[in-house]
Structure 1
């Protein structure tokens, strides 16, 4: 009888240890999956923004009221919605729809998520439902670079439609900060004007 009770006690201890180990394994797996999803969101955000910025073109658009909008409008960050609006090229027409190869896209932070909104047409069209690029976003800030100087806003003033580069800083809910830099368009400004003397044959 004593041996049987001892066996039951040992079995109970082993079962408790097994349950604890299984619980730890499940929690670790869940944490790992969440971390992988988060990293995938960051990589997706950088990839999509890189493609949009690299394909940016100097094509103004019109809103639903016919008001002309600059080709590239960038605010200081998530305090303004949209915080970024641009026109990009390279939009693949996989279904042969009667539409341009240019696309207007917007970025905003809403309900703790970074959203990308696209438009089916450049002028006057209603937007497509936004896509979530990154969750758990507390705030985002943007800066724009041209000719060696950074600015907190871009609206094409001075006849320069596009900045040369853009910086995004994202503050997450857990307090971590991520920074990424993107080339806009070709990333180069217009070449300097040459004088007639420089073009004259020698």
Structure 2
């Protein structure tokens, strides 16, 4: 009795090789797409983190600006220097973020004390640049009678923003506001002629005075540029 030959099933070697080649191509494209997506996600996360860091800086600076106090001495006379509150000072960096440089110095009020600790409700605040990093240094001001203030002598140093390439600070003096009147904020470059240091060497500001407004512009290494305008009129 003869047997009927059955057709062979399965894949030939050529078919297997072609299938493997197609699979390899698909995997290569898939890996490249995944790698690109992963790098894009990582870059987006870094940008988002920088934006959040910058936004946090603006929020804290905004809180400080809303509570800046006019300098006065122990007797309450604002015309005398060297009293309780530090004079308001500010300076642009002009693109130089090396070393340790002062950006802003002032006394602020409204410092919340939910734990009811024996401290002042005012702060001495300093914003400064140290080798490209923006710091906020602060400590309680001595407007309350406290027996022992040794714990408050050292400044608390708070890092705010890294990789800063420039901070441009401009101040609106009462004299300029009076000269320009209602048009003081007109135009895109309205702060071009505002002074970049306070007190101004030309006499626009004195140690016990505050500018009417302050424009702060921050530039970062990764290309982010942001600015805020603060109303300091008391």
User: TM-score higher than 0.5 here?
Assistant: yes
* CA deviations over 1:108-157 (Å, ceiling 9, x no partner): 112222211111444972101x2222222111121211225232222495
Please point out which of 27, 31, 41 is paired with 1:29.
41
SS state at 2:61 partner: helix
Q: Does the C-alpha gap of structure 1 residues 141 and 106 become closer, same or farther in structure 2, counting only changes over 3 Å?
A: same
Q: CA deviation at 1:12?
A: 0.8
Aligned to 1:182: 230
The structure 2 residue matched to 1:151, chosen from 182, 191, 195, is 195
Distance 2:37 2:134 in 1: 32
Q: TM-score scaled to structure 2, two decimals?
A: 0.68
Shift of 1:47: 1.3
C-alpha distance in 2 between matches for 1:180 and 1:61: 30
What is the deviation of 1:174? Answer: 3.7
Q: Kindly tell me: are residues 158 and 59 of structure 1, through their superposed partners in 2, closer, same or farther at Cα, counting changes over 3 Å?
A: closer
Q: Where does the alignment leave 5 or more consecutive residues of structure 2 unmatched? A: 1-12, 75-81, 143-148, 177-193
Which structure 1 residue ranges, 5 or more long, are not aligned?
189-202
Instruction: Give the corresponding residue for 1:94.
Output: 114
Counterpart-to-counterpart distance in 1, 2:108 and 2:165: 27
Structure 1 residue 73 corresponds to structure 2 residue 121:
no
Equivalence for 2:221:
173
TM-score for the superposition, normalised by structure 1:
0.78
Work out the number of aligned pairs and report it.
Answer: 181
- Secondary structure at 2:38 match in 1: helix
CA distance in 1, matches of 2:39, 2:104: 38
The corresponding residue for 1:139 is 166
Offset at 1:24? 0.8
Report which of the two structures shows the higher radius of gyration computed on alpha carbons: 2
- With over 3 angstroms needed to count, the CA separation of the structure-2 counterparts of 1:21 and 1:159, relative to structure 1, is closer
Q: Does 1:161 align with 2:206?
A: no
